[in-house]
Structure 1
Amino acid sequence: MGDTIDFAVLVRLLRRAAAIVRAHEAELSRLDSFGGDGDHGTTMVRAMGQLEGALDAAAGDAQTTLHEVGWAIMGVDGGATGPLFGSLCMAMSGAAPAEGEIDAPTLANMFDAGLAGVQKNTRAAVGDKTMIDALLPGVRAFAQAARSGGDIAAAFAAAATAARQGAEDTTDMAARFGRAKNVGDKSKGAPDPGATSVALLFQGMHEGLRDDG
């Protein structure tokens, strides 16, 4: 993998991310049962279905496609999952090029914008046992690798590792947002499902980069 990806590769990464999440539906719902309704896996699978539907109707450019993906995910019922993951994609679209290939620094800008979009919709910070615990370190690791001269593969590898560690770090945290905050310390003992979903998305994109297509 070189220093840029084209639109077809971007679509491949997103499809692979959706497939990884779909494969972990039962695990995500099990994690959600510690403090939530136990339906996070089902909700994420619905969100990935919306993502795939938007990709099927893709207009051929990253900017429009990510906006449509985000808009589609926004409409998914199931608590904060749709709005937060939808806002991630919609905000990324604003930093995406309307045409041409995408290099590592541009992808870093897109992820930065996506993180900012999510943060506009939640007051959660690292340590609150939410998706932010994986998203923020994942985005920062991608940016650090990309802006220090690393190629896209190295940046995705760094992001996937950081996001996975961030999700694992939530295991001993007490939730401070969502339904899980109502059970306090009883939410300890398992990783946050939202953070785990973020880690899976980064894992999927990294794997998609290595796929032959």
Structure 2
Amino acid sequence: MSPLDANQIVALFRVIARRLAEARSELGVLDGAIGDADHGNSMADGFAAVVRASAEAAAAGCAAGDLFAVAGRAFLNAVGATTGPLYASALLRAGQQFAGRAEIAAEDVPALVSAFAAGIRDRGKAQPGDKTMMDVWAPAARAAELPGDPLARLDRALRVAEEGRDATRAMVASVGRAARLGERSLGHIDPGAASAVIVIAALRDALARYLSEARP
């Protein structure tokens, strides 16, 4: 499989940003039930900033692997509150893993799920069962690390991510802003879990499109 260069990593970010922009209102509604209704704006605005910064860096000759650090700083500058540091940490963790690489092998794209999960876990300290995005990222990371071709690994990660998102409906929030609601958070899908599924689905679809276009 042909590796992804810097422009193709930017294209991957564009898919994520577009999907989050499309889901802006939906995520806002989910967050309005247990939070401040701003999660959709935060995710959409954050990844829009990622696209702008990474495209500029790629045009200036930035290596593919170094774009993740650029993306992390851009997300943090664009988004405050909790989401900004969490996804900045996710992107920066990926940047540490791929630093200096001019290209990234298609086989390594599923490793982004594990890197994102590790960055978010270490920054936010949440655990599966707390009714947060970690109820998606943790099982998705484990699924992405299992053997298989890269698309199959992301397919598997997406399936368990969707299960993790849906499971948050039956949880009571124990960390974050939603925790103040106690039992009233029961019955609602966590917005961070919902947006995490969108990110993973976008990664999967972006890789599928790239592999299709790269096929001789």
**Which residue of the partner structure matches residue 102 of structure 2?**
99
**Which residue of the partner structure matches residue 168 of structure 2?**
170
Paired with 1:115 and 1:49, the residues of 2 have a C-alpha distance of 21
| Residues 43 and 138 of structure 1: CA distance in aligned 2, closer, same or farther (over 3 Å) | same
Shift of 1:107: 3.5
Matches within 5 A, 1:152-163: 152-163=150-161
Paired with 2:43 and 2:112, the residues of 1 have a C-alpha distance of 22
**Which residue of the partner structure matches residue 46 of structure 2?**
47
CA contact under 8 A between 1:13 and 1:206: conserved in structure 2? no
Matches within 5 A, 1:34-113: 34-59=33-58, 60-96=62-98, 98-104=101-107, 106-113=108-115
CA contact under 8 A between 1:3 and 1:151: conserved in structure 2? no
Shift of 1:103: 4.1
Structure 1: gaps of 5 or more residues: none
Shift of 1:160: 1.4
Residue 139 (1) aligns with residue 133 (2):
no
Q: What residue identity is the alignment partner of 1:74?
A: L
Paired with 1:134 and 1:54, the residues of 2 have a C-alpha distance of 27
Post-superposition Cα deviations, 1:70-101, rounded to whole Å, max 9, x if no partner, equal 11111233421010011000101111151234
**Which residue of the partner structure matches residue 125 of structure 1?**
127
| Residues 48 and 101 of structure 1: CA distance in aligned 2, closer, same or farther (over 3 Å) | closer
Structure 2: gaps of 5 or more residues: none
Shift of 1:177: 1.5
CA contact under 8 A between 2:110 and 2:150: conserved in structure 1? no
CA contact under 8 A between 2:136 and 2:197: conserved in structure 1? yes
By relative contact order (CA 8 Å, sep 6+), the higher-ranking structure is 1
CA contact under 8 A between 1:94 and 1:113: conserved in structure 2? no
Shift of 1:165: 1.3
TM-score, structure 2 normalization: 0.88
**Which residue of the partner structure matches residue 191 of structure 2?**
193
Shift of 1:108: 4.5
Paired with 1:113 and 1:207, the residues of 2 have a C-alpha distance of 18
Paired with 1:111 and 1:210, the residues of 2 have a C-alpha distance of 15
Shift of 1:4: 4.8
Paired with 2:4 and 2:150, the residues of 1 have a C-alpha distance of 8
**Which residue of the partner structure matches residue 26 of structure 2?**
27
CA contact under 8 A between 2:106 and 2:207: conserved in structure 1? no
| Residues 108 and 208 of structure 1: CA distance in aligned 2, closer, same or farther (over 3 Å) | closer
Paired with 2:111 and 2:205, the residues of 1 have a C-alpha distance of 21
Post-superposition Cα deviations, 1:184-205, rounded to whole Å, max 9, x if no partner, equal 1111212110111110001111
| Residues 187 and 134 of structure 1: CA distance in aligned 2, closer, same or farther (over 3 Å) | same
Q: What residue identity is the alignment partner of 1:55?
A: S
Identity over aligned pairs, percent: 29
